[in-house]
Each structure stands twice: as structure tokens, then as C-alpha cells.
Amino acid sequence: MMPAVNPDILVWARETAGLTLQDAVAKVGIRGARGLGAIDRLTALERGDEEPTRPVLVKMARQYRRPLLAFYLAAPPRPDEHGADFRTLPGTRTSEQGALIAALVRNLRSRQEMARAALEAEDEADPLPFVGVLLDPGDLETQTGSLRRVLRHNAEAARLTQRALREIARVLGDDLNAAAYHAQPNAEEAFRLLRSRTERAGAFVLLQGDLGSHHTALDPEVFRGFVIADDVAPFVVINDNDSRSARSFTLLHELTHLLLGQTGFAGVVSETEVEEFCNRVAAEWLLPRWALDRVEIGRGRDFADQKQRIGAFARKSNLSRTMVAYRLLRANRLERSTFEQLRAEFREEWKRVRDLRRTKQRESEGGPDYYAVRRHRVGQGLLTFARRLVGSGALSTTKAARILGVKPPHVGKMLRPARGR
């Protein structure tokens, strides 16, 4: 027999899902009965005056995005520790968005922990040398304090930036540099190259910006990426609702966090020294100082001319226009007010293009192959890992499904090599 449900769990599950009482009764489908209105009935359940039936708990689990067993915990768990806020754009996060992000992080943490456990079971849990390589051994609080002190001194911060760039070269390979990146035929291929090299080094790079449906899609203004800086099975997660040209910057930003050995989550705007450092490393890798002259821009130029030149250079170099403008700002070649105006206009233009593309996709017949989309989002690193362990019998289909984020019947087709490989 299952234990009785602690009413505090019902309150915790609803509130962490970002739902008011009114929202919850509508989503769960609670109706008035026995002289009580729907909200009064839910309030009675949350006070412990009534015991929820199993069908109600099943609906709550689905709508609150919690496993059913969570409702039988003795007490609400501690709040999730997401870590520092990493990659984000300006914007306001609603309680519903916060709940979706929390659910997304729980999902990815669970998958990452299972991947690590599978490697440990096979005696393949060898620590990756680049995770945490930039910080001296010690507890996280001491490391973070020391890092912030370093970053407050320009000379020391510059030396650490150069060291981070050297470590990224070791991870990606010396032959993959800014020139090679810029030479790729388009932003998608350029990102694919960065992603494959990062996965080759041992990190898993996933594209995920929702919980499995477009109804739960998270805008990049809410988060762009987060990283689980495990030293055996690190996960880098990039919001695939973001522009293709911006994903490379996010990947390099999160790779820098791996070098720092810091797990973190992008949820709200953060301007800490560590975030500025990761931005600086990513920007300097993608657009080194020697390449800035190719933009042919400087202070005092006409705004429309600046915008046109930045846009043309960004497209040719597979870069985000905002990133190019940010780099010019850091190099004192753009005024802050000009940068802010450019960033706002670039963002609005991208939104219009994105919305138009989505409309065309909805109106067109058919769509991309389900498995091709899922494979692209999961990444070759995780697919190769699952294919190898399932093939050897070390990983069950059920566990592989959970790690890949699909249902068990889909595992076979997910792991089938794509055509042309």
C-alpha cells in the first residue's frame, strides 16, 4: 500500500510548476462537488482535509511535471540548485517559464546522471582532463572567490583569458581556429564542426529548448544554454529556439564554464565577472582582435552604415550580428548607446524572421523526419554512446530511451545509423 500523501507536497508541486490555484483546477480538471467549489476542493486537498484519489494524483503529476512517486515523498525536497546564471538575453522570466526551466533541468540532470552511471558500470568513468582545468583544486566556494578576485584585475583576467583560449584549442584541435570556422559554408555547418569537436573531446552537446512539444518551447530571451560540468559525462545544453549563428557563441561560452568546472544554468540576466569572462573568451575565439579590422568600422560612422557593415561581415563569417557588435564594443570601436540600439534592432529583426519561418512551416505539408530531428537534437556524441552500450548489452532499451529522451519503442530507429554515415 502506498503511504498517504503529505499535503505540503501538493502545495510544493503546484507552486514549483508556476501554477496558481485557479490555474491548477483548470489544468487538473478538478470540479466542484459536495457543496464545495473547485478551488475550495483543491484547497482542502492541500490542507490535508481530503485525501487525493490516484486519478487526481496522476493528473497532477502530468500537469505539474513531476513523477508520480514524488507525491509520496515524506516532505518537499530542497529547492533545485541550478548554479550560476550563465547564458541569457535581457528579458523577464514568468513563474510559468521558471517552472518549465526547472522541469527541463530536472530532465537533463536525470539523463546525465544515468549516462555517468552507465560509464561507471562499465569501468569507463575516466575523468576528462579539461573539466575544471582553469581552477586550482579546492572547494567550489573558495575556487569561485579566487576566480572573481582574479577577474577584477585586468592583467590577471587577460592572462586567464589567453590560458582559456589555449585550453579550448586543446579541446577542439589546433586546426580548428577562427579562420577555419569563418571558412565554413554557413552558420549551421560551422556550429556542426564546433559541436563535433566538443563531443569528440568527451562532452555531450544537446539541442533542447522545450519539454517535447511546441507548447513548452522556451524563448532564448529566457535561456540560451546551461552546462552540467561533470568530469566524466558533461552535458552542454543549447536552446535550439535560438538563431543558428548564436549557438556557436553559446557552445563556446558553456565550454569555458566546463574549463572552470562550474555547473550552471541560464535563467535570468546575470552580469557577474564570471559571465563576462565566459563571454569574453567565446567572443575572442570566434572573432580575434586581428579579425576586427575586417569589419571596417569605427566610432563616428553613420548608424545605418555601421549596421550594414556588421551584418555583411557577420553573415560572411558565420557569426551572430550581436556578437560582432559586442566584440566591437569591447574593443572600443562602438559606443555603448550604438551597441544597445543595434542589439535591440537585431533582436527584433531576428524575431520577425523566426516567426515568418514558423508560419511557413505550419502552412507547408508534411515536415522533417521525426527521427532525423531527434538525432540532431540529441547529438552524435550521445547517440554513439547509447549505440555502443546497447549493442554490448550494457544498457537496456528502457535506460537508453531515458538517456536519449524518447520512448522505448523509438530507441531502435533512433540508434539506426543515418543515411550517408
pLDDT in tens, the chain (421 residues): 456 788 898 998 888 877 889 989 998 999 887 778 899 999 999 999 888 888 899 899 888 878 777 787 788 876 554 444 434 444 456 667 777 887 888 889 889 999 999 999 999 999 999 999 998 766 555 666 778 788 888 898 899 999 999 999 999 999 999 999 999 999 999 999 999 999 999 999 999 988 777 777 888 877 889 999 999 999 999 999 898 889 999 999 999 999 998 887 543 344 577 888 898 999 999 999 889 888 888 677 789 999 999 999 999 999 999 999 989 998 888 999 999 999 999 999 988 988 888 777 767 656 678 899 999 999 999 999 999 999 999 999 999 999 999 999 999 999 987 655 4
Q: How far is CA 345 from CA 87, 232, 303, 307, 390, in A?
A: 20, 41, 12, 9, 48
Alpha carbons 404 and 396: distance in angstroms, whole number: 12
pTM of this prediction?
0.80
Q: What is the pLDDT of residue 227?
A: 92
Question: Which pLDDT value is given to residue 36?
Answer: 84
Paired residues of 36 in beta bridges = 33
Cβ contacts of 150 within 8 Å, gap of 6 or more: 156, 157, 160
Q: How far apart are CA 16 and CA 103, in angstroms?
A: 9
Q: For position 85, what pLDDT does the model report? A: 40
Q: What is the pLDDT of residue 367?
A: 63
Q: Please tell me the predicted confidence (pLDDT) of residue 219.
A: 83
> Buried b vs exposed e over 138-171: b needs ≥16 C-beta within 10 Å?
eeeeebbeebeebbeeeeebeebbeebbebbeeb
Q: Which helix (H) or strand (E) holds 291?
A: helix 289-292
* Nearest 10 degrees: Cα torsion 267, 269, 271, 274: 10
Per residue in 303-319, is it b (16+ CB within 10 Å) or e — as a string? eeebbebbbebbeebbb
Contact between 218 and 100 (Cβ < 8 Å): yes
Partner residues linked to 205 by β-bridges: 236
- Quote the CA–CA distance of 361 and 12 in Å, as a whole number: 38
Q: Using CA atoms, how far apart are residues 304 and 308, in angstroms rounded to an integer?
A: 6
Name the amino acid, one letter, at 260. L
Please report the pLDDT score of residue 10 as a whole number: 92
Q: State residue 404's pLDDT score.
A: 95
Specify the 3-state DSSP secondary structure of 40.
helix
State the burial class of residue 326 (Cβ atoms within 10 Å of its Cβ: 0-12, 13-18, 19+).
buried
Beta bridge partners of 265: 226
